[in-house]
Amino acid sequence: MEIRKRRRRRMRIWTVAVLVLVGVGVACGVVFLSKTGVFQKPGEVYYDESLSSEQVAILDGIFTDDVNLKSDVYISVINRTERPQLAEGEYIYNISVPVTDFYDARTDSSEFDEVDMISVEDLDFTKKLLSIDGEYYLDTFDKGAYYQVIKFDSDRFAEEIAPLVDAIFAKSWPDKSSVLTMAQTGVTALSRGMNTKLGSVGGDTTYFAEYVKDYLAEFDLTHTSNEASFTDAATGDNICSDPRFINTLTAIGLDIVELTGNHNQDCGNTAALDTIDIYEQNNIKTVGGGRNATEAAISLEIDEKDTSITMLAYNQSTGGATYGNEPGANQYYEDVATADIAAAKARGDFVIVDVQYYECSGYDSTTEDTTCDYADSAAGDQVGFFQHLVDLGADVVVGTSAHQPQTFELYGDGAIYYGLGNLFFDQIWWPGTTRSLILEHYFYNGKLLQTRVTPTVYDNNMQTKLMDTEGAEWFIGRLVKARP
């Protein structure tokens, strides 16, 4: 009897053991098949042929043998001609833009075999950015470039892939909120014949800016050098401005007015002082002139969108400067300018220096006269003087006295634009004085990405317009030929 009991006990133990083993086996099979638990099949990383060798090398450094994924991930690259709306797992890997030589007169990249495609990260003011089919990348940010998107396709992207790739691929790219745009324009003198014309257009001061006001107002900062003070004594014969012309300036979105001109005192000190008050009332900042010599010498410091700029503006031997308590322009002194530029550079600022230089008057004909295209035209050593300012540390030097545009060049570590011409004036008698250049600066994180040169022209109606593409390329090419 005892023997039977033992046998039964042994049979029960073996039966339980077998059942346990079967149960464990079934459980392990379920775990394995469901890809969960310790017997999980690891996720694989698949590279599409669209990836470059550079991208594969980066990815190999991320997805090493030590990385254990629970789901497969498929990685590919997509190219777009417009900025895409990114979905989960997508990052902009690169933005390529067309560029050419700084002195190239072209504005559009219709012939891609003659331009270079570079990353926006490598763009700077020494290269000339071109449009693509009329779309300029720094104006739109969603066109005018080629956008390369790297895509990670995984069922577990948020949990597994994002922590591995975010730090490398989630880059910040230039956009409207981060790029500081600034338009610098030339001589403005809303006076003389424009006072007369104002009467014939029913006092509509926006008439003169009708074709450029929306364009200029789009910039974060818009500058001009206004040489005419506001006064009720303005007539068709003097360089004084009807007070209603302040509306022309606000229509173009004017933020900065330069007062280095030699005509701001033509209608007396009272008018000059009242004009400064009007600018302040309209939140327009002044530079290069003021109520007295001390105020006139104050630099304009700009700190917007992670970019710091110092604007300095001087009057060099054209009259109109203040030397004491009277209003006028900021007279140039070598030691002061040297110290001003050095102080701005010590702050880490980008430095723009504007100069009211000796004027070139080689436009006394009704035909095209290229005399003033050359910066040394009967006006002293303009080239040497402007280059010296770059040697002192200026990043961009701009001539704001020329009544017709002059040449421009890269020099040292900076750029020089010798004369911008007339944005608004009544000089309709000579072809040269009806034109001007708008310098369109684009800053990103303190760096000047680009200065686009956009020519303008006005006709007998004194209405300023942007030149068409053909005219702009012809005129820029002409100025380039005159560079030092």
Residues 248, 141 within the same domain? no
Residues 161, 106 within the same domain? yes
Residue 307 sits in a domain of what CATH number? 3.60.21
Tell me, yes or no, whether 32 lies in a domain.
no
List the domain range (segments joined by +) for residue 198.
179-481
Residues 146, 291 within the same domain? no
Residues 107, 164 within the same domain? yes
Residues 295, 190 within the same domain? yes
Tell me, yes or no, whether 70 lies in a domain.
yes
Tell me, yes or no, whether 174 lies in a domain.
no
Residues 192, 302 within the same domain? yes
Tell me, yes or no, whether 33 lies in a domain.
no
Residues 366, 329 within the same domain? yes
Residues 89, 237 within the same domain? no
Structural domains of the chain, count = 2
Last residue of a domain, one of 131, 151, 169: 169
**Tens digit of each residue's pLDDT, the chain (484 residues):** 333 333 334 444 444 444 444 454 444 444 444 434 444 468 999 999 999 999 999 999 999 999 999 999 999 999 999 999 999 999 999 999 999 999 999 999 876 667 999 999 999 999 999 999 999 999 999 999 999 999 999 999 999 999 999 999 999 999 999 999 999 999 999 999 999 999 999 999 999 999 999 999 999 999 999 999 999 999 999 999 999 999 999 999 999 999 999 999 999 999 999 999 999 999 999 999 999 999 999 999 999 999 999 999 999 988 899 999 999 999 999 999 999 999 999 999 999 999 999 988 887 788 899 999 999 877 889 999 999 999 999 999 999 999 999 999 999 999 999 999 999 999 999 999 999 999 999 999 999 999 999 999 999 999 999 999 999 999 999 999 999 9
Contacts of 479 (CB under 8 A, 6+ apart): 373, 405, 406, 407, 408
d(CA 242, CA 194): 9
Residues 354, 298 within the same domain? yes
336-373 b/e (C-beta count within 10 Å ≥ 16 → b): ebeebbeebbeeebbbbbbbbbbbbebbeeeeebebbb
Tell me, yes or no, whether 361 lies in a domain.
yes
Residues 309, 397 within the same domain? yes
Short-list 412, 362, 421, 340, CA closest to 383? 412
Residues 466, 336 within the same domain? yes
- What angle, rounded to 10 degrees, do the helices at 53-62 and 162-169 form? 130
Residues 163, 214 within the same domain? no
